[in-house]
Amino acid sequence: MNFDLTIKGNCILSAEDNEVNQIVLEHTLAEQDLPFVIVSNGQEAVEGWEALDPLVILMDISMPVMNGIEAIKAIREKEEGTGKRVPIAALTAHALSGDEERMMEAGADYYLTKPIDPNLIIAKIAEIVGPQSTRAIL
Ligand SMILES: [Mg+2]
């Protein structure tokens, strides 16, 4: 995948395979001031993280090619020894008990349940990146 490297180090990376959710995320992320990139599977998320050094990653869990859990693990492995740790918020429709633990164990820092709540997403990004990230009225 080709990424716009002019936004490297100053963007949000979102991985989501469902087209309807992609549209919701696109509208939601357009409400804040940082550039963003939406990719559609875990492998692209890992590639995007390597290319773009994002400020935060929103990671869907159920995705083709490579799921979110595998992508989080891959990123955390690659970070080992670098002293860097990108904040990752896992997004999932799975409401089964034990899911949150599974994601946190994989290396997620936050856990947001679906359906996607735009206000929650914007608030979480502001919490992670700082209030300057957003112009949205919460
Ligand atoms: Mg999915």
C-alpha to C-alpha distance for 126 and 108, rounded to whole angstroms: 17
Phi, then psi, of 16 in degrees rounded to 5: -155, 130
Q: Whole-model pTM above 0.85?
A: yes
Digitized pLDDT (tens) for each residue of the chain, 138 residues in all: 899 999 999 999 999 999 999 999 999 999 888 999 999 999 999 999 999 999 999 999 999 999 999 999 999 999 999 999 999 999 987 666 677 888 899 999 998 988 999 999 999 999 999 865 655 444
**What's the gap in Å between 86 CA and the centre of ligand 1?**
21
Say if CB 40 and CB 66 are below 8 A apart: no
- Domains of the chain, start order: 5-128 (3.40.50.2300)
Beta bridge partners of 39: 15
Torsion sign over Cα 26, 37, 63, 70:
negative
pLDDT digits (tens, 9 = 90+) for 16-31: 999 999 999 999 999 8
**What's the gap in Å between 28 CA and the centre of ligand 1?**
17
Please name the helix (run of DSSP H) or strand (run of DSSP E) that holds residue 112, with its range, or none.
strand 110-113
**What's the gap in Å between 133 CA and the centre of ligand 1?**
26
**What's the gap in Å between 69 CA and the centre of ligand 1?**
12
